[in-house]
Chain A
Amino acid sequence: MKDRKSDFLRGARANVPVAASAMAYGSVLGVLASQKGLSWLDMMYMNSAVFAGAAQFVMVDMWSGHLPILEMALAVLVINLRYLLIGASLEPLFAGRGFLHKMCVMHLVADENWAVTMSEQRRGRATTWFLFGGGVFLYLAWSSGTLVGLLGGGLIKRPEVYALDFAFTAVFSALAVGLWRGKKDILPWIVAGGAAYLAHESLPGKWYIVVGGLAGAIAAMSRPCEPAGDKGEKDACGN
């Protein structure tokens, strides 16, 4: 019980750096939403039910008097396809957890608390409560940002001026350092980065994340199985 609480709080704290930027971008979304005529109730409904930054920006952009319901759902599907891979990568963390627990925690998985949790897991200190603490904290930061923007105008009109858009890139880069597994990652990361760049240039939306992640994983599969005993790691071939 005590562990849950401390893991939850640790997860919340670990997301503080990125939550500030999430809040600033939430306020930008709030301003756009007020121009489209969303009420605070609409906004909070969307924050609570969807809870996915990029998808919410597109939804607000598509907002009109007569909502294009199916087009909106399709756009959200494409933008959030990466969550399929993010969800799959969390499977080891959830090992042994009940279905209800999975159902509750997974709702509040965003790029940010996922990345923070993956980096923490590499140090052997991540739990699902750590992930959940980050999710709740991000939800509060994101939601309050959107409401400030909606009701009071933007916190910061142009976050790019303060390089706040680069905050996400910088945090994810810092966390990626923690996920680096040494020279066996050289090929997968080169392939992932190259594929992501090409996809970003040629495909719309967030496809590049899916394409890059899959390409990197497939590149890793091409590596011959390592013999057991490599720095005490378990044999990848299952021996």
Chain B
Amino acid sequence: MPAAIETQVLVAVGLAAVVTYALRLGGLLLAARFPRAGRFRQGMDALPGALLFSLVVPSIVSEGIWGVVATALTAIVALRSRNTLAAMLSGMLVIFIARKLGQ
């Protein structure tokens, strides 16, 4: 018999789940009310790229010059091959080697 879930776990995780789900669905539903043209639209169109770039910048910088080399190689492979897996592995290889050398 698996242990039943404690009430406090049920509540704590449930509340965290509600918060997370509200953000996910809320963003989608809210965006339907945004203006469909003009400057606001320009901002929304730029959002995916800006978000994704923001996601990676600090972790690239924290790897120093090797982070920049790894990302440049990843971008080149992604552009040339259109293969995300190959691009990912080439970037990881640079970091793997850099860390080995740095030990």
Taking the nearest CB of chain B, how far is it from the CB of A8, in angstroms?
18
Interface pair B74/A86, CB less than 8 Å apart = no
A interface residues, Cβ below 8 angstroms from B: 14, 16-18, 39-42, 45-46, 49-52, 55, 59, 66-70, 72-73, 76-77, 80-91, 94, 102-103, 106-107, 109, 111, 115-116, 118, 160-181, 184-185, 188-189, 191-193, 195-197, 200-201, 208-209, 211-213, 215-221, 223, 225, 236-238
B interface residues, Cβ below 8 angstroms from A: 2-6, 8-17, 19-21, 23-32, 34, 36-61, 63, 67, 70-71, 74-75, 77-79, 84-85, 87-93, 95-96, 99
Interface pair B88/A216, CB less than 8 Å apart = no
Kindly count the residue-residue contacts between A and B in the assembled complex, taking CB atoms under 8 Å apart.
293
Q: Which residues of B contact A166 (CB under 8 A)?
A: 59, 63, 70, 91-92, 95
Additional pairs, 8, CB under 8 Å, beyond known A175-B78, A188-B49 = A41-B4, A85-B51, A107-B24, A169-B56, A175-B84, A192-B51, A195-B54, A197-B57
Complex alpha-carbon distance, A103 and B9, angstroms: 24
Interface pair A50/B24, CB less than 8 Å apart = no
| Given A118-B48, A215-B50, A217-B46; A83-B39 close (CB under 8 Å) | no
The residue that B20 contacts in the complex, of A45, A83, A103, A169, with Cβ under 8 A, is A83
The residue that B88 contacts in the complex, of A50, A67, A171, with Cβ under 8 A, is A171
Taking the nearest CB of chain B, how far is it from the CB of A79, in angstroms?
9
Chain B's interface: helix, strand, loop or mixed, by majority?
Answer: helix
Interface pair A87/B25, CB less than 8 Å apart = yes
Interface pair B47/A88, CB less than 8 Å apart = yes
| Given A69-B15, A185-B46; A170-B41 close (CB under 8 Å) | no
Q: Which residues of B contact A164 (CB under 8 A)?
A: 92
| Given A82-B51, A209-B55, A213-B51; A91-B2 close (CB under 8 Å) | no
